[in-house]
């Protein structure tokens, strides 16, 4: 009898996410984050060309390891500008998670790099990418710092039950 001495190695694949990933992304999101969304929220991310969504999968099993959902939008010259004068493009990370048993292997970093490269390539006028993170989520805050996102401000009660930290990475001034 052949004795199996080691389990097959994980073979991660990073690719652009599509509507066929919605169920797995929703499951992962519900398992790992308190902010959950209706399926219509996810569909919007796959209908709009300004979105940049990526997944990491285990090639052997096809299981989802992690995902990121992001979107680009126009940036107005001033916040209350009624003329709609556009000064560039801004990106926003809406959701990011990596399953607990696959952490500290660089998957979230790879997902963030994929978003940044994609948005920078498609939108040369990209000014910054921003995101919100729970004040108490120190590991995610530390992760984003390691990707060169800096804290901009605390948004009081952003999550209803907790303050959010707005973080940004500048790409051009």
Ligand X SMILES: CC(C)(COP(=O)(O)OP(=O)(O)OC[C@H]1O[C@@H](n2cnc3c(N)ncnc32)[C@H](O)[C@@H]1OP(=O)(O)O)[C@@H](O)C(=O)NCCC(=O)NCCS
- Show the tokens assigned to 158: 């952003």
Q: Which among 93, 98, 91, 94 is positioned nearest to 139, based on CA atoms?
A: 98
Interatomic CA distance for residues 89 and 170, integer angstroms? 11
Residue 34 within binding range of ligand X, rule CB under 6 A: no
For ligand X, the binding residue among 82, 104, 156, 173 (CB under 6 A) is 104
Interatomic CA distance for residues 95 and 26, integer angstroms? 11
Residue 14 within binding range of ligand X, rule CB under 6 A: no
Q: Is 31 or 81 the residue whose CB approaches ligand X more closely?
A: 31
- Strand 51-58, strand 64-76: pairing: antiparallel
Residue 142 within binding range of ligand X, rule CB under 6 A: yes
Stretch that binds ligand X, among 11-19, 74-82, 94-102, 113-121 (CB under 6 A): 94-102
Residue 68 within binding range of ligand X, rule CB under 6 A: no
- Show the tokens assigned to 53: 């969504």
Residues that bind ligand X (CB under 6 A): 32-33, 96-98, 103-109, 133, 137, 139-140, 142-143, 146
């Amino acid at each position: 009898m052949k004795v199996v001495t080691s389990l097959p190695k994980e073979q991660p694949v990073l690719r652009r996410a599509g509507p066929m990933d919605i169920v797995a992304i929703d499951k992962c999101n519900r398992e790992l984050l308190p902010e959950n969304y209706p399926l219509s929220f996810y569909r919007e991310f796959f209908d709009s060309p300004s979105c940049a969504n990526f997944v990491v999968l285990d090639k052997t099993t096809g299981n989802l390891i992690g995902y990121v959902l992001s979107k680009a939008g126009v940036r107005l010259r001033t916040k209350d500008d009624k003329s709609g004068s556009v000064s560039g493009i801004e990106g926003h990370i809406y959701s990011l998670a990596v399953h607990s048993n696959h952490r500290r292997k660089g998957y979230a970093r790879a997902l963030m790099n994929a978003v940044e490269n994609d948005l920078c390539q498609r939108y040369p006028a990209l000014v910054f990418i921003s995101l919100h993170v729970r004040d108490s989520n120190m590991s995610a805050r530390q992760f984003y710092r390691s990707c060169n996102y800096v804290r901009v401000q605390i948004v009081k009660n952003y999550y209803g039950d907790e303050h959010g930290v707005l973080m940004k990475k500048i790409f051009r001034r």
